[in-house]
Structure 1
Amino acid sequence: MMKKVSLLGVPMDLGQARRGVDMGPSAMRYAGVIERLEKLGYDVRDYGNVVVDERSIEEASHENLKNLSAVVNTSIRIRETVQQMIDDEAFPLLLGGDHSMSIGTLAAITARHENLGVIWYDAHGDLNIPSTSPTGNIHGMPLAVNLGLGHELLTNIGAKKLKPENIVLIGSRDLDEGERVLIKELGIKVFTMHEVDMLGMATVMEQTLQHLAHTDGIHLSLDLDGLDPMECPGVGTPVLGGLTYRESHLAMELLAASGRVTSAEFVEVNPILDERNKTAQVAVALIASLFGDQLL
């Protein structure tokens, strides 16, 4: 891991309907993310928060895409800021905010790699396109967008696209029918909760890193709803039967040991739905493990 970290908050709640997730970056800062990283010896530069467009009543939905213009404009700002962070030769760490923010994040990061790998740690696939989305919520589409699938205003934000063989989904347990079809068509590697239960997290991470061995860097996109709601109640789309706190720490510890992760984002923390900032505290603890925190 680089010893310089660039931190960016994305108070974005445009990609879904439940309000409050825009306070996620503040909750993680309050939970001490900067202090934890500095204690580990990192030089942290806080870029503050990206300016997020307001929701528009006039454009609440466009071709089954809610808040399309606002998401596009904000994603471009995210892309441009992350590009600055990379130019600063620091590890980009983003705090969110709903998962639609990944459209801008990956647009910037993919452009700086020849062969970027992505770990999508999430209960959901986020592989919907407008015609398959049951809600029109763009936070269910960012991975598809970065594969070049979906509305052109979204897919044009990033010039370079992800390769299906460079993606690994971990913790999946709520996939829409269109997502299941797309996963099979593209051959995307998925470790559902069934595989996690059968294999154990150590084997899942070993196979994940082997699958991405040919890549020149790994972006971790961790949605806190990947964990079980008992561990992380402060998320907008909780799904029972998720990953445990300890499994997730092990996953982060193994990623830290690999030295392969070059950027990361922790998303979908919603303090309004939380219990005494529990979910933000879990996020900060996992961030610390990803950056090498150890008991001994």
Structure 2
Amino acid sequence: MVNKSISLIGVPTDIGAGHRGASMGPEALRVANLSARLAKRGLDVVDRGNLQGPLNPWLPPQDGYRHLPEVRAWNEAVHEAVHAELALGRLPIMLGGDHSLAIGSISAVARYCREQRKQLRVLWLDAHADFNTAEVTPSGNIHGMPVACLCGKGPKELVEVGGHVPATTPDVFRQVGIRSVDEAEKRLVRESQVSIFDMRHIDEVGMKRTMEEALAGVDENTHLHISFDVDFLDPTIAPGVGTTVRGGPNYREAQLCMEMIADTGRIGSIDIVELNPAFDKKNQTARLAVDLVESLFGKSTLIR
């Protein structure tokens, strides 16, 4: 059964992103009533407020990385906060913030899984594979690197967050909705053998079969972590992101994806990242994200 004790952790920074604005994501999710909507589902929801960290200096890359010391500081804060909630027996939902913050949250979840002898499965719902390194990144933006860093490919400052190197291995990831991978990044992804269910796969076999494959092997000893980048969704329904990529899942496909995850009863932690209210229309993307997160906790059209 899914944990009914939920902790919301705001992480208001766009430190790893290429556009300003993801720092406003946590507040947009609160304005869209995330806490009240989850409480209505019978969950015990506590909002822990926002973590603190360095301001975004908005500087060019140094040695292939933008804002490395600041990204490290934010991720260490995320790691400690997420691990503390898991240790209390609560289900943490990180309200991002950009996707570089997943280094902190997933390293904390991986640490918790090692302590509890649980199997970790990460569902990475995203338009991007986020497996760049300093050698291949076109931009130096660290929000394009968290999966690589978690798998031990990246700067010492980030691969060592949480103290266990690598924090995770590529086999724990199932990436769904991918449709934008940089040329050199494709080679890294292939070499690491991360499981990717790209949009072509979803087009060919449908979302139902894709999610059955992505969730195969999840059992009662599995901790399921959902890393939900809002740019996973098609920009026609979710314009409020910094890096829109056409051709993502539509509303019904996204709902089915979330409902099938909910059906496992194994969700243990969630990231909601890359929501950028600066690009949104009347907070519609935040409202949609809240709607989908409700579906992760069992909201469906009919009583099944």
Deviates more, 1:203-212 or 1:279-288: 203-212
Superposition deviation, residue 295 in structure 1: 3.0
Q: Provide the residue aligned with 1:178 in structure 2.
A: 184
Q: Is the 8 A contact 1:166 1:215 kept in 2?
A: no
**Pair 243,237 (structure 1): closer, same or farther in 2 beyond 3 Å:** same
Distance 1:265 1:117 in 2: 14
Superposition deviation, residue 236 in structure 1: 0.3
Please tell me the residue identity of whatever aligns with 1:95.
L
Structure 1: gaps (5+ residues): none
Q: Provide the residue aligned with 1:10 in structure 2.
A: 11
Superposition deviation, residue 132 in structure 1: 0.8
Superposition deviation, residue 158 in structure 1: 2.8
Secondary structure of 1:82 counterpart: helix
Does 2:200 align with 1:194? Answer: yes
Structure 2: gaps (5+ residues): none
Secondary structure of 2:216 counterpart: helix
Q: Provide the residue aligned with 1:264 in structure 2.
A: 270
Q: Provide the residue aligned with 1:144 in structure 2.
A: 148
Distance 2:261 2:241 in 1: 24
Q: Is the 8 A contact 1:111 1:158 kept in 2?
A: yes
1:130 is matched with which residue: 125, 130, 134?
134
2:233 is matched with which residue: 215, 224, 227?
227
Please tell me the residue identity of whatever aligns with 2:226.
L
Distance 2:107 2:189 in 1: 21
Secondary structure of 2:222 counterpart: coil
Structure 1, residues 223-244: CA drift from partner, whole Å, max 9, x if none? 1101111010000000011111
Please tell me the residue identity of whatever aligns with 1:225.
D
Q: Provide the residue aligned with 2:41 in structure 1.
A: 40
Structure 1, residues 108-153: CA drift from partner, whole Å, max 9, x if none? 1110113311111000000001111000000000111100111111
Superposition deviation, residue 55 in structure 1: 2.4
1:121 is matched with which residue: 125, 137, 140?
125
Please tell me the residue identity of whatever aligns with 2:188.
L
> Matched residues, percent identical?
40
Q: Is the 8 A contact 2:177 2:249 kept in 1?
A: yes
Distance 2:221 2:71 in 1: 29
Q: Is the 8 A contact 1:169 1:189 kept in 2?
A: yes
**Pair 137,214 (structure 1): closer, same or farther in 2 beyond 3 Å:** farther
Count of residues in Structure 1 that have an aligned counterpart in Structure 2: 295
Please tell me the residue identity of whatever aligns with 2:133.
I
Structure 1, residues 52-83: CA drift from partner, whole Å, max 9, x if none? 311236x6432111111111111111111112
Distance 1:230 1:19 in 2: 21
Q: Provide the residue aligned with 1:168 in structure 2.
A: 174
Q: Provide the residue aligned with 1:105 in structure 2.
A: 105
Does 2:256 align with 1:255? Answer: no
Q: Provide the residue aligned with 2:21 in structure 1.
A: 20
Deviates more, 1:19-28 or 1:183-192: 183-192
Deviates more, 1:202-211 or 1:128-137: 202-211
Please tell me the residue identity of whatever aligns with 2:102.
S
Secondary structure of 2:171 counterpart: helix
Please tell me the residue identity of whatever aligns with 1:139.
H
Does 2:161 align with 1:157? Answer: yes
Superposition deviation, residue 290 in structure 1: 0.2
Q: Provide the residue aligned with 2:282 in structure 1.
A: 276
Superposition deviation, residue 211 in structure 1: 5.0
Q: Is the 8 A contact 1:166 1:212 kept in 2?
A: no
Superposition deviation, residue 214 in structure 1: 9.4
Distance 1:178 1:164 in 2: 18
> When the two structures are superposed, what TM-score results if normalisation uses the length of structure 1?
0.96
Distance 2:278 2:217 in 1: 38
Q: Is the 8 A contact 2:13 2:56 kept in 1?
A: no
**Pair 220,211 (structure 1): closer, same or farther in 2 beyond 3 Å:** same
